[in-house]
Structure 1
C-alpha cells in the first residue's frame, strides 16, 4: 500500500486535473464486480435447475447469496453513474449533446437485448402493456409486475438511469453552488434523507415488514426442470394483472427513490476532484461495506436493497478514484479488468436473455443437482460475456464513435 505521506496530493489547486479529468481505470474495472454480483444472483434464482433449487443445499447457498447481493451491484452502478457523469461533464459542455450521448449509450444495447429476450421467451406481443413501457424505459414508474419486470428483467435499472440523466443538467447549477468545504455535509445529508425515505416507506406504506430474505425462485411441481423460469414464461405475460408490494416497489424500483443515490455519486466526484476526499486506502471502505452488507440480514426489506449500503459504497467509489489519481494501480486497473468493465454494461443486459435461451433449449425437461447448475451457470457466464463483448465492440463503440459528436477512445 502506498504511503500517503509520499503520494502526490489531489487538491482543488490542481488545474490540470480539473481541466483534463483523467481516466479512472479502477472504476472501470470495478464495474465488472458489480455486474458479476447481479449475474450470480440471477443465475441462482433465474436458472430453474431441478431438483437442485428444491434442495437444502440450494437454501443454504441462497442464504449467503440473497437478493441484496444483486442489489448491492445496482447501488454501485447508481453511485458510479453519478460520479462518472459529473467527472466527464466539463464546464461548458453542451446539454443537448449530453442528452443525445446518454440516449445513444443506453437505447441501442437495451433494444437489442430486449429483442433477444422476446425471441427467447416467445413473449405475446399482442399485449402492448407488457413490452411497450419496457422498450421506452418507463416501466418501473408503475407498480405492476408485468411492467416492473416486463421483458428483460435487468433493464428495470435503466428506467432509473434515464431519470438520472434527465435531471443532471437541471440540478447541476445547484450542485456547483455548494461550497467545497460543505460537500461532505451535503453528502451526509443525502444519506440521512435516504434512510428517512425508506423508514417512511416501511412505516406508512403497505408491504412486507419482516427481516427475512423474501426474494426466491418461483417453483413449479416436480423434479424435472421446466422450460421457462416463471418470469420468462409466456403464461406470465398473459396474466391480466400482477400487483407488487407497494413498499418494495417504492424502495427498490421507483426511479425517484433511487435518484439520491445518483447525486451522492455526483457529490463524491466533486469531493475527489476538489481534494476533499484524499483517502487511498481500501481497507476501511471495504470493511464498512462488509459490515453494512452483513447488517442487511437483520433489517426489513425496505432497508436491504440500498439504504444501508449507500454510504460505504460511495466511500469505495471515491477511494478507487483517488487511487487512480495518485497513480496507485491494483487489480481493478489491470488490462483484463478494464476490458471486463468496458463490456459489463452489455453483459448486464444480455445475461438474462441468455439464461432464458439456455433454460428453454438445454436445461428444460432434465434433472440436475448442484454440479449441473454450476455447469449451466458457467456456460451462461461465458456466453453472456462473449455476447456482451460483441455488443460493445460491434454496436456500442461504433455508434458512439460515429454519432455521439466526439471521438470515442477505447479504454481496454
Structure 2
C-alpha cells in the first residue's frame, strides 16, 4: 500500500502548531442507549435469568412433594389440609408460567441473525428430547408401566399427549413432562412467526404487548363462560385419599390401577386453560416481545421492587378468582416485568442472588431436576414410605431426601448427558468446521 504524500508546513519547525483532534462525545458507560446497542450486537449472557429458573423448578417440586408423596396419616390430617391451603396448585402453576414466559425471552435473545430454521430446530430437539426420554424411561422402570398400554406412554414420549383431553394421556407417564408438549409447539412456531414479530416497529412494542395480554384474558374468559368445568374459586388439585392410615406403596399417577383405566375424563375448561398447548402459546410470545423491549432499549427499569411486589399481589389474588384465571393469567404481567427487569440488571452489571455462580449452576440443572423429580418420588414412595406411618416430620424428611437425590441425579444428567450432546451435535459439521477455521 502506498503512503499518501506528506503535507509540509510553510512555518518554521519551532513554530509548528499541533491541532488536537476534536474531542469525542462523552458517553456514560451505563447509559441506556449504549447498553441497548451493545446488547443487540453482542447478546451477552444473562446469569440472573439462568439462576431464576431454579426457583420456578423448586416451586413445582414443593407442590409435587405435597401432592405426590403419599405420607399417611399426615396426608389425612387437619395440618395437611391447612398446609395445602397455603400451598395450592397455583404454586406449581406459577413456576410453569414463569418457564413459558422465560422460554420466549431466552429463545429470542439467543436467536442470532442468519440462523436457519433447521439449525434452530436441531438445537431445540437436542435440548428437550434426550432428557425427556431418559426421565420417561426411568419412570417406566420405577413405576412398572405396562408397555402393552401404548396409549399411556407413546403420546408422552412423542410429546403430543396434552393435545388430547384425557388424563389417560395427559397424566399417563411422567407427569411434569406435560409442559414440554407446549414447549414443542413454541419452538415449532417461533421461526414461522419471527418475521411477523420483527415487523412490529419499536415504537409499537408496548401496544403489541398490551394487545397480546388482552387476547390472553379474552381467551381464558371464553373458556370460563362457554366450556364445562368448575366455576368457583376453590383451589384445585387436592390429593385423592385411600382408606386407612398406612402409607400406600404407589402414588395415584404411578399406581398399576391408573395405567389400566381405559378412559379418565378431565374438565374441558381446566384442560383448555392449563394443558392445551395453543392456549399457552401467547405466554411464550409475551417473553419474545419483552426480549425485544430490552434489546431495543425500551425497557430501562432496574429496580425489582415494584415488579416483585406486584407479583406477590397477583399471586395473592389467585385465591379469589376461578381456576381459568388462577393458573397463569393474573401472574403474566408481573412475571414478564420481573424477567425483563432482571435482564436489564444483568446488562448493567448489577449483581444479585440469582446471578451468583451457585445459583447459575442450579439454574442450569433445573431442567433435568424438573423432569426427574417425579420418578425419584415414586422410588422413595415404593421402597421407603409404603407400608409405614408418618407424620409431618416424616413428610418433611422424605421431601428433603427427594430434593437432594433429584438434584444429584439432575447434576449428573446435565454434566454427562446434556452438555456433551449439545457440544457434539448442536451444530452441524459444516458450521463446526467454519468455526474451527481461524479468521
Per the shorter chain, which TM-score range?
over 0.9
Q: 1:273 aligns with which of 295, 300, 312?
A: 295
> Shift of the alpha carbon at 1:16?
2.9
> Shift of the alpha carbon at 1:205?
0.2
Q: How does 1:312-351 map to 2 (within 5 A)?
A: 312-351=334-373
- TM score, norm. by length of structure 2: 0.90
| 1:18 has 2:68 as partner | no
Cα distance in 2 for residues equivalent to 1:13 and 1:135:
43
Cα distance in 1 for residues equivalent to 2:166 and 2:380:
27
Aligned residues: CA RMSD: 1.1
> Shift of the alpha carbon at 1:9?
2.9
| 1:78 has 2:96 as partner | no
Cα distance in 1 for residues equivalent to 2:371 and 2:145:
17
* Structure 2 unmatched ranges of 5 or more: 1-27, 433-439
Report the counterpart of residue 109 of structure 1 in structure 2: 131
| 1:159 has 2:184 as partner | no
Flag the structure with larger Rg: 2
Q: 1:150 aligns with which of 161, 164, 172?
A: 172
Cα distance in 1 for residues equivalent to 2:35 and 2:173:
49
Report the counterpart of residue 68 of structure 1 in structure 2: 90
Instruction: Give 3-state SS (helix, strand or coil) of 2:44's partner.
Output: coil
- TM score, norm. by length of structure 1: 0.96
Report the counterpart of residue 134 of structure 1 in structure 2: 156
Report the counterpart of residue 112 of structure 2 in structure 1: 90
1:153-197 CA distance string (max 9 Å, x none): 000000000000000000000000001111111111111111111
Instruction: Give 3-state SS (helix, strand or coil) of 2:350's partner.
Output: coil
Cα distance in 1 for residues equivalent to 2:426 and 2:32:
31
> Shift of the alpha carbon at 1:8?
1.3
Report the counterpart of residue 387 of structure 1 in structure 2: 409
Contact 1:10/1:272 (<8 A) preserved: no
> Shift of the alpha carbon at 1:95?
1.1
1:45-95 CA distance string (max 9 Å, x none): 000000111111111111111000000000000000000000000111121
Q: Give the length in aligned residue pairs.
A: 402
Cα distance in 1 for residues equivalent to 2:408 and 2:184:
26
Report the counterpart of residue 261 of structure 1 in structure 2: 283
> Shift of the alpha carbon at 1:14?
4.2
* Structure 1 unmatched ranges of 5 or more: 1-5, 408-412
Contact 2:159/2:178 (<8 A) preserved: yes
Report the counterpart of residue 25 of structure 2 in structure 1: none
Q: 1:44 aligns with which of 60, 66, 76?
A: 66
| 1:241 has 2:263 as partner | yes
